Amino acid sequence: MANTIAALLENTKLNKTDAKALLTHLLDRHLGWPRSALISKDQEPLPNELLIAWQSLEAQRVSGVPVAYLTGMKGFHGIDLKVNEAVLIPRPETELLVDLALEEMKRIHANYPNQTIQILDLGTGSGAIALAIAHECSISKVPINLSILGVDQASDAIELARENAKALGLNHLVEFLPSNWYDAIPNRYQTTFDVIVSNPPYIQKDDPHLHEGDLRFEPKAALTDDGDGLSCIREIVNHAHHYLKPGGLIAVEHGYDQAAEISVLLENHGFHDIGAITDLAGHLRVTQARKEDPTF
């Protein structure tokens, strides 16, 4: 068997991006080598235990297992997150929710610099959205008082999110609680949140994409509601006014063809300033709106 990095990359069945990601993971775990070793040490013999691990990962990836589940890590909005089969793999389009929350934080802070900004992340999964927001706040040169609550009905997801918060040193900014949407959120949080963000299950039960690519391996309950793809979003919107402050912002990720229905749903529940935002592929991917503020 080929026993150098160059030989493994030359002979692998995988595309080079996946192969390099898996090799980088193995080189770090077995030898403590950085990613640059893919070039600087590509002719050095590799130990047998690494080669055996490579064969296993290569075979699993060929069968379709996502790279993120094989390495146990995924980058998202400038942070590295632990991921496993209990949670969705964070995707670039979901970074839109982070950016919207950050923009709203800056707006609030500019007007009320001493206010603690409170954010609710519904269906937090690995904690990606909540932790990316917290990370940006922690490295900002502008001191912002921030408190984030992330909830998820899956206890395995909450455990992982807490691990990620600890690894990133963000425990002081983010709390994770098990809850089926709003069900177990303590009453003290009612009408306290400035922002609600969510990437809920929104794929229709008969969508063929559920049986393709990485989606085959991700938790079904985090992908689809086993219905029309909108039941979870209805639940989120139906009760959002109980938890948002007057004038508070809600932003929800959704399918490329769901923006119009969600806009109507938000309007019917008294929200205003409703707008949809496109992702990098040009699809309407996130819809945002504001709760009415009777003081204006």
Find residue 152's DSSP bridge partners: 178
Amino acid sitting at position 45: P
CB atoms < 10 A from the CB of 24, how many?
A: 18
Q: What is the chain's percent helix, strand, coil content, to nearest 5?
A: 45, 20, 35
- Are 78 and 137 a contacting pair, CB within 8 Å? no
Give the separation between CA 271 and CA 266, rounded to whole angstroms.
5
Q: What is the DSSP string of 115-171?
A: PPEEEEEES-TTTHHHHHHHHHHHH-SS---EEEEEEES-HHHHHHHHHHHHHHT-T
Give the separation between CA 250 and CA 286, rounded to whole angstroms.
10
Burial 86-109 (b: 16+ CB within 10 A, else e): bbbbbeebbbbbbbbbbebbeebb
Task: Please state the pTM of the whole predicted model.
Answer: 0.94
Q: Return per-residue pLDDT of the chain as tens, 296 residues.
A: 579 999 999 999 999 999 999 999 999 999 999 999 999 999 999 999 999 999 999 999 999 999 999 999 999 999 999 999 999 999 999 999 999 999 999 999 999 999 999 999 999 999 999 999 999 999 987 789 999 999 999 999 999 999 999 999 999 999 999 999 999 999 999 999 999 999 999 999 999 999 999 999 999 999 999 999 999 999 999 999 999 999 999 999 999 999 999 999 999 999 999 999 999 999 999 999 999 877 65
- Dihedral (CA of 155, 161, 165, 170) sign: negative
Find residue 24's DSSP bridge partners: none
Give the separation between CA 293 and CA 126, rounded to whole angstroms.
33
DSSP strand E in the chain: where?
73-76, 79-82, 117-122, 146-152, 174-178, 193-198, 244-253, 272-278, 284-290
**C-alpha angle 81/97/266, rounded to 5°?**
140
Q: Which domains does the chain have, with CATH numbers?
A: 5-63 (no CATH), 87-290 (3.40.50.150)
Tens digit of pLDDT for each residue in 18-48?
999 999 999 999 999 999 999 999 999 999 9
Helix, strand, or coil here: 63?
A: coil
Give the separation between CA 190 and CA 246, rounded to whole angstroms.
11
The helices-and-strands tally (H runs, E runs) of the chain is 10, 9
